[in-house]
Chains A and B, each alone.
Chain A
Amino acid sequence: MSIREKVDEYKKILDIFPNDQEKYQYLIEKAKENDSFPLELRLDNFKVNGCQSQVWLVPEEKDEKLFFNSDSDALIAKGLVTLIASIYSDEKAEDIVSSEIDLMEEFELGVILSPARRNGAYSMLKTIKEYAKNLIS
Chain B
Amino acid sequence: MSKFSDIKKDFPIFERDINGKKLTYLDSGATSQKPNSVIDKMNDIYKFNNANVHRGTYVLSSETTHEYESVRYKLQSFLNASESDEIIFTKGTTEALNFLANSIANKFMGEGDEIILSEIEHHANIIPWQMVAEKYKLTINYVKVNDDFSLDLDDLSSKLSSKTKVVSIVGESNLSGMLPDIKEINNLVRSNSDALLIIDGAQLVPHRKVDVQDLGIDFLVFSGHKMLGPTGIGVVWGKKELLNSLDPVYGGGDMIEEVHYDKATWAPVPHKFEAGTPPYVEAIGLGAAVDYLENLGMSEVEKHSDELREYGRKVLLDIDGVNVIHAEQDIAGCTFGMYVDGVHAADLSLMLDTHGVAVRAGHHCVQPFHRKLGIDATIRSTAYIYNDKEDIDTLKSALISSVEMLR
Contacts of B376 in A (CB 8 A): 73
Contact A24 B350 (CB under 8 A): yes
Contact A19 B354 (CB under 8 A): yes
Contacts of B350 in A (CB 8 A): 24, 76, 110-112
A31, closest chain B residue (CB):
B347
CB distance from A7 to the nearest CB of B (A): 22
Are A24 and B351 CB-contacts (below 8 A) given A75-B406, A76-B346?
yes
Is B121 in contact with chain A by the CB < 8 A criterion?
no
The CB with the most chain A CB atoms within 10 A, among B353, B361, B362, is that of B353
Are A24 and B354 CB-contacts (below 8 A) given A52-B361, A52-B362?
yes
A11 to B101, CA, bound (A): 53
Contact A53 B344 (CB under 8 A): yes
Contact B346 A74 (CB under 8 A): yes
The CB with the most chain B CB atoms within 10 A, among A28, A52, A77, is that of A52
A112 to B350, CA, bound (A): 8
**Which residues of A (75-124) have their CB < 8 Å from a CB of B?**
75-77, 110-112
Is B20 in contact with chain A by the CB < 8 A criterion?
yes
CB distance from A49 to the nearest CB of B (A): 15
Is B373 in contact with chain A by the CB < 8 A criterion?
no
Counting contact residues on chain A (CB < 8 A from B), the size range is 10 to 19
A53 to B362, CA, bound (A): 9
Contact A28 B405 (CB under 8 A): yes
Contact A75 B344 (CB under 8 A): yes
A110 to B21, CA, bound (A): 14
Residue of B346, B347, B354, B362 near A20 (CB, 8 A) is B354
Is B19 in contact with chain A by the CB < 8 A criterion?
yes
Contact A76 B19 (CB under 8 A): no
Contact A21 B344 (CB under 8 A): no
A112 to B344, CA, bound (A): 15
Chain A at the B interface: mostly helix, strand, loop or mixed?
helix
Contact B346 A77 (CB under 8 A): yes
Contacts of B406 in A (CB 8 A): 28, 75
Contact A74 B344 (CB under 8 A): yes
**Which residues of A (21-62) have their CB < 8 Å from a CB of B?**
21, 24-25, 28, 52-53
Contact A110 B353 (CB under 8 A): yes
Contacts of B344 in A (CB 8 A): 53, 73-75, 77
A25 to B406, CA, bound (A): 9
Residue of A19, A21, A76, A111 near B347 (CB, 8 A) is A76
A111 to B406, CA, bound (A): 18
A28 to B402, CA, bound (A): 12
Q: Mark B3-38, 1 if CB is under 8 A from A, else 0.
A: 000000000000000011000000000000000000
Contacts of B362 in A (CB 8 A): 52
The 13 listed contacts between A and B (C-beta, < 8 Å) are: A19-B19, A20-B19, A20-B354, A21-B354, A24-B350, A28-B405, A73-B376, A74-B346, A75-B344, A77-B346, A110-B19, A110-B354, A111-B350
Binding site for B on A (CB under 8 A): 19-21, 24-25, 28, 52-53, 73-77, 110-112
Q: A52-B361, A53-B347 are in contact. List 4 more A-B contacts (CB 8 A).
A: A19-B354, A24-B350, A76-B346, A76-B347
The 8 closest A-B pairs by CB, nearest first: A74-B344, A21-B354, A52-B346, A53-B346, A74-B346, A20-B354, A74-B347, A75-B347
